[in-house]
Amino acid sequence: MDDLIEDLANARWRKSSFSGHDGSNCVEVARFSGGRHGVRDSKDLGREALVVGPTEWAVFLNQVKAQ
């Protein structure tokens, strides 16, 4: 758990290229230790990020690519 707290504190968030240029639909992703990834809404930084493990991230990416 301490690793996750440190990862979140030092996260380098990247905005999705699919995010709207007008400030809407702003999704950001960060890579964390252990193959975990975080996803957050850049318009609501007070809200916690969703953090998933490497298996869940791979499933998510496969589903996105299949769309």
Question: Residues 39-65: pLDDT tens digits?
Answer: 998 888 889 999 999 999 999 999 989
Domain total of the chain = 1
Cα 43 from chain centroid (whole Å): 13
Residue numbers of the domain that contains 41: 2-66
Instruction: Give the mean model confidence (pLDDT) for residues 1-21.
Output: 82
Q: Evaluate whether 43 touches 26 at the Cβ level (below 8 Å).
A: yes
pTM for the model stands at: 0.79
pLDDT beyond 70 at 11: yes
pLDDT beyond 80 at 9: yes
